[in-house]
Amino acid sequence: MTSSSQYISTRGTAPRLGFNDTLLAGLASDGGLYVPEEWPSVKHGSTDAPFAQRAAEILAPFVGDDIDSHALAAMCRDAYATFRDSHVAPLRELGDNRWLLELFHGPTLAFKDVALQLVGRLFDHVLTARGERITVVGATSGDTGSAAIDGVKHCANVSMVILYPQGRISEVQRRQMTTVHSANVHTVAIDGSFDDCQDLVKAMFNDRAFRDQHRLAAVNSINWARVLAQVVYYFTAIEQLHASDSAPVSFSVPTGNFGNVLSGWIARRIGANVGHLIVGSNANDILTRFFETQTMSAAGVVPTLSPSMDIQVSSNFERLLFEMNNRDGVATAAQMTKFRESKQLAVDAATFGTWIRPVFRGQRCSDADTLAKIAEVHRRHGVLVDPHTAVGLVATDACAAADEPVVTLATAHPAKFADAVAQATGERPALPAHMADLFDRPERTERLPNDLAAVQRFVVSATATR
């Protein structure tokens, strides 16, 4: 059926790559993000197919001949066997025309497991076939690091070094990383902020000799395979609702880097029966302001109760911008350069009316509204939701019609953000059984100053000993 599936950069000048090279490349060499050269069309499937089977079917046209279909199906089965719910991403009804899509049944209790359990296996598969090794370096403000570590902890060909800001992530988040004792996994507490950690990672990637010598790779949310893996649950949610041929289903997505909601846009683009995409933001509301003013304007980051959405610039937006520019990479590159310099990016009315207004809705949500929503859902439905999910629910209320079917993505387990949930409800959600002893497990971590040379020395020693 398909032959080779090719990827091009949103900035127009990096080489075209196949799926496997795109997987390993992360960022394109011209600074852009990889997108498929052509969008395939994908049909809705059976309402009772297992999630792993639908994942393999939906991914196949994007992977092309780069990975044998049996191997792809086996990796999907293995990845989703790590989820505690047999449906992987089950729906829970929350009143008329409203559902939660529970994406937090994976090993580290956040939706990022859906992508990273598969991406770890894809890395290993491709590297084993090529006889190569890579070193993944990343910075985390909490959820990405733990999901990435769990995804690669069994990968023989991947070493991983994750930097996190000392004292600035929750204890559950830290312990989820520091209690993994695989020889290939290393965590480093940096005396600095999350931005300092990110700057250290960027500096390592910009040191070309260092990057090439240690085959540095990234697993941040701009990685194409992560975005792709998340497309699957938009299809399966609609299929579970038996809504493939009825009224379109809207999705409300608590949003930070625009990765998850972009996956929803892609699902819609390739054939899923998706209606509106509702973007929920916390006080870091660059996207909500964009929907209101047609201008993207970056501001400083404010800490909130939904820390995984405390992001100044949503990097995956560039993939949508490329489409809005009718796939003109040169125009997109010029816009991104201007945005970096002026912190402003304006879209003309015609483009906005074609691409944004018919599809996207946006709503911001304060910490007070977040707590009130957690309390209300608990009171009315007896369900505990985490603060990120609560932001999505507030956005659903604000943006959807009463008769519009809406699925709100539940992106984290309430126990991962137990303090906020307890503050709102007086009830402290318990960790699932497989993590009940998390606070008794021994931790292993390194502590380093905010100093590039020290971190590079550590990466060298970590990759040498594995």
Ligand X SMILES: *Cc1c(COP(=O)(O)O)cnc(C)c1O
Q: Looking at beta carbons only, is 123 or 258 nearer to ligand X?
A: 258
Token pair recorded at residue 249: 């289903």
Please count the other Cβ atoms lying within 10 Å of the Cβ belonging to residue 192.
18
Burial 150-165 (b: 16+ CB within 10 A, else e): bbbbebebbbbbbbbb
Taking the complex as a whole, the smallest distance from the CB of residue 308 to ligand X amounts, in Å, to: 3
Please report the DSSP string for 233-281 in residue order. Answer: HHHHHHHHTT-SSSSPEEEEEE-SSSHHHHHHHHHHHHT--EEEEEEEE
Q: Is 343 a residue of the active site?
A: no
Taking the complex as a whole, the smallest distance from the CB of residue 139 to ligand X amounts, in Å, to: 13
Q: Looking at beta carbons only, is 57 or 194 nearer to ligand X?
A: 194
Q: Looking at beta carbons only, is 157 or 221 nearer to ligand X?
A: 221
Taking the complex as a whole, the smallest distance from the CB of residue 6 to ligand X amounts, in Å, to: 25
Taking the complex as a whole, the smallest distance from the CB of residue 407 to ligand X amounts, in Å, to: 15
∠ Cα 264 266 272 (to 5°): 75
Pick from 441, 382, 395, 385: nearest CA to 416: 385
User: Residues, the chain, total?
Assistant: 466
Binding site for ligand X (CB under 6 A): 110, 112, 143, 221, 254-260, 308-309, 388, 411-412
Taking the complex as a whole, the smallest distance from the CB of residue 304 to ligand X amounts, in Å, to: 12
Q: Please give the radius of gyration of the chain, using alpha carbons only, rounded to the nearest integer.
A: 21
Residue 225 in contact with residue 200, Cβ under 8 Å? no
- Secondary structure element (H or E) that encloses residue 186, with its range: strand 185-191
Q: Looking at beta carbons only, is 91 or 129 nearer to ligand X?
A: 91
Annotated active-site residue in 112, 153, 202, 416:
112
CB-based contacts of 131, cutoff 8 Å, min separation 6: none
Q: Looking at beta carbons only, is 313 or 455 nearer to ligand X?
A: 313
Active site residues: 112
